[in-house]
Amino acid sequence: MSHKLHIGKLCIIGVGLIGGSVARALRECNCVDSIVGAGRQLENLKRAEDLGVIDAYSLDLAKAVEDADIVLVAVPLGAMQRVFEQIKPHLSSHTIVTDVGSAKQSVMAAAENVFGELPATFVPGHPIAGTEKSGVEASVAELFRHRRVILTPHAKTDKMALAKVRQLWQACGAQVMEMEAVHHDAVLAATSHLPHMLAYALVDTLARMDDSQEIFDYAAGGFRDFTRIASSDPVMWHDICLANREQLVKVMRAFSDDLHRLCDAMEQGDGEFLKTTFTRAKNARDKFCG
Ligand code: NAP
């Protein structure tokens, strides 16, 4: 963990699971003088203040970002551009802006649309950590501990800004790496976005069956493990799917082809194919978990 980080004023736009967890983590290491939260709903911000996650709040984004050293944007992907538009006229020249969006090309495109070009002080980021829960109540200081955070700096990203955002995440206990945004979106489509699509699709298919009640009554641990992420916020996932649809559709089609092959093998009673597939998958997962 870095002990050198000092942030005077941190503004968090979107004090939910991710924004709230960053605030809690940075509070624990005493590296921020004040954290100001911003969002749309007063009750949510009040709740965040009551929980001690933020020091102050404002519904007015202009006021919230005033003189901030860092602005962390932690709203759903579909709201990023509107937030950039609202804060643009009020950012000081020294203010670093970073985000936590789950797809990176769309956030960078939104920033480019608003600022004309990607600002040097804009450092796009994505913590590879989360849960199926939403809102500040679900936030925890240890969410990012020993987890990865991917930063996708662009050609003009200021080195000092990049170093500061890196330090911020290290102070949260995360391991920080850098990647091209295009590569990030392709990798995350496979490792995160596809599994969410499978969980949503499976639960939805079962829920629409005539005997769905009985199916859910008898579902056990395996079903719970596999489908946990189908409890994730639909708005957030709607935004992620649309933002990363090109990569996601590609990997969903590849998966769909494999599923058809598995189906064909069963129809043909091809036990060898099944054993080979399951063994290869078990080995890959054991290696991942080991
Ligand atoms: P969340 O718990 O629902 O929090 C989102 C926050 O944004 C809420 O505080 C909400 O408060 C605020 N908000 C929503 N729309 C807004 C708008 N138009 N303008 C201003 N504030 C708005 O969601 P989250 O899980 O923290 O996700 C936030 C971001 O993190 C998303 O971009 C997501 O892709 C990314 N992310 C999520 C995970 C995960 O596992 N959950 C992991 C990595 C990255 P109000 O409703 O009061 O406005």
43-54 pLDDT, tens per residue? 999 999 999 999
CA 200/CA 228 separation, integer angstroms: 10
CATH number at residue 216: 1.10.3660.10
| Domain final position from 179, 196, 218 | 179
pTM over 0.85: yes
**Whether residues 23 and 145 fall in one domain:** yes
Together in a domain, 65 and 139: yes
Pocket test for ligand 1, best of 148, 236, 238, 244 (most atoms within 8 A of CB): 236
- Does residue 192 share a domain with residue 167? no
Alpha-carbon separation of residue 284 from 1, 241, 280, 287 (angstroms):
31, 26, 6, 5
Of 145, 179, 213, the last residue of a domain is 179
Residue that finishes a domain, picked among 149, 179, 209? 179
Phi, psi of 145 (to 5 degrees): -65, 125
Q: Which domain holds residue 223?
A: 184-289
Q: Is the pLDDT of residue 129 over 90?
A: yes
How far from each other are the two terminal CA atoms of the chain, in whole angstroms? 24
Shared-domain flag, residues 240 and 220: yes
Nearest to 22 by CA among 133, 126, 143: 143
Instruction: Please tell me the distance between residue 11's alpha carbon and the centre of ligand 1 in angstroms.
Output: 14
- List, for residues 170-187, the tens digit of each pLDDT value: 999 999 999 999 999 999
Contact 33, 60 (CB under 8 A): no
Give residue-wise pLDDT tens across range 196-251. Answer: 999 999 999 999 999 988 888 888 889 999 999 999 999 999 999 999 999 999 99
User: Is residue 114 domain-shared with residue 201, that is, in the same domain?
Assistant: no
Q: Counting Cβ atoms within 10 Å, is residue 176 exposed (0-12), middle (13-18) or buried (19+)?
A: buried
Residues 232 and 171 in one domain: no
Ligand 1 atom nearest 235 alpha carbon: 3
Per-residue pLDDT at 157 exceeds 60: yes
- The reply to whether 175 and 66 lie within a common domain is yes
Domain count, the chain: 2
Q: Does pLDDT of 117 surpass 80?
A: yes
